[in-house]
Amino acid sequence: MSDVLRVAIAGLGTVGAETMRVLRDNADLLTARAGRPIQVVAVSARDRAKDRGVDLGGVAWHDNAAELAGRDDVDVVAELIGGSEGIAKDLVEAALGSGKSVVTANKALVAHHGTALGALAEVNGVALAYESAVAGGIPIIKTMREGLSANRIERVYGILNGTCNYILTVMRETGRPFADVLADAQELGYAEADPAFDIDGVDAAHKLAILSSIAFGTTVDFDAIDIQGIRPISPVDLEYAQELGYRIKLLGIAEQTEAGVQQRVKPCMVPMTAQIAQVDGVFNAVAAEGSSVGPTLSYGRGAGAGPTASAVIADLVDIAADRKVPVFGVPGAALSAPRAAGIESLSGSYYIRLMVIDRPGVLADLTAVFRDERVSVEALIQSGRDPGEIVPVVLTTHETEDAAIRRSVAKIADLEAVTEEPRVLRIEAI
């Protein structure tokens, strides 16, 4: 083992630059904790002329990030480029294949190729570390993989995307519509110019796929996740949630059911009394329920240069200290193929908001549909009367099968008096 851990960084955006800064500013502390110095010897980025606020003197520059994998003076490649394909994937595969450890903040890469990359790391006796890929500065990978290793994990869930949590928080507090708050989030840097991955739930699903693999000892199965984002949520839904004693959160949930592992990312109603309901703004929170420890909750900033760099460097310290654990908690040969369960196998309570023409017989038509599908209505809210106009009708149900709710909503959407696509949110018992 070298006296110095020699690192190459691919990608010098805000996270890469912050990683370099912290490595230099906290060099003495990190050397003490790692048992040896950690030194950046090479970097790669698109623009050499850009001022990143860090000193690159004495550090080799490569325009082609793939060249970092071939350097003999590099022990670890930190991949901070992003994307599940292309140069990021090529670089990680080349680095692992040449006997170099990899630290990555790339949740899409791990979610789509983690099983294969983990096997490649194992064959070559190196580390594939990705603490920074899930929930930013929250050390949830280490918590799940090591701190909870005595437990059978029964369920893992959380707020996994700070952009969505910020938008829902501001909508609830101000009553402003989704599009306006999204524009503010983009101006503040919380949302990308193209925010689709965030607001459509894909980013959260990438992270959930990784957590689910660790929780249940399975290969990563992103394609099995039922995904829905927050675009359809309106201030009206947030107001009704408040009236009913709930808050709306975009949650990623993975749980072991009789039908298999069920994974979903959806906006849902959570009781105001639940700890996770109090997590607002750009913060993330991840809960895991273990057979011995019971429920746990980890909370913190889920993104940003500082939190993400903190997690990158934590992985570098582990590698420098030669602390090595299997990529997904157990050796690759012990990972099982997950038996995926569809959301239709679940049962629970639901919130349903309808926009209907206020006229006699509408409620009778609605209740007839629910009766025929054996759905029991717990509460119904119709605020005031406005004959002939479009008004909201809100219902909550007793526990029922998801499949019955889907059939009911499909029939109701076809009723002449219903003017919009029904809004359906699952009420999560957490």
Please report the DSSP string for 397-423 in residue order.
E-SEEHHHHHHHHHHHHTSTTB-SPPE
Do residues 119 and 222 make contact, with C-beta atoms less than 8 angstroms apart?
no
Contacts of 92 (CB under 8 A, 6+ apart): 77, 79, 102, 104, 106, 109, 117, 128
Q: Dihedrals φ, ψ of 347, to 5°? A: -130, 155
CATH classification code of 141-301+334-343: 3.30.360.10
CATH topology for 346-427?
Alpha-Beta Plaits (3.30.70)
Flag whether the pTM goes above 0.75: yes
Contact assessment for residue 69 and residue 95, using Cβ atoms and an 8 Å cutoff: yes
Residue 98: how many other CB atoms lie within 10 Å: 15
Cα(424)–Cα(405) distance, integer angstroms:
9
Please check whether the two domains, 141-301+334-343 and 346-427, share a CATH topology: no
**pLDDT at residue 355 in the model:** 93
d(CA 27, CA 169): 38
CB-based contact 212:261 (threshold 8 Å): yes
- Per-residue pLDDT tens over the stretch 192-220: 888 999 999 999 999 999 999 999 999 99
Q: Could you give the 3-state DSSP secondary structure of residue 251? A: strand
Domain ranges in the chain?
A: 5-133, 141-301+334-343, 346-427
pLDDT at site 384: 66
Decide if 403 contacts 344 (C-beta within 8 A).
yes
Active site (annotated) includes residue 207 = yes
Look at residue 191 in the predicted model and tell me its pLDDT: 85
| Cα-based distances in Å from 316 to 39, 312, 345 | 10, 6, 42
Residue 284 is predicted with a pLDDT of 96
**Residue in 89, 107, 142, 207 annotated catalytic:** 207
Low-confidence ranges of the chain (pLDDT < 70): 1-2, 384-385
Look at domain 5-133 and name its CATH class.
alpha beta
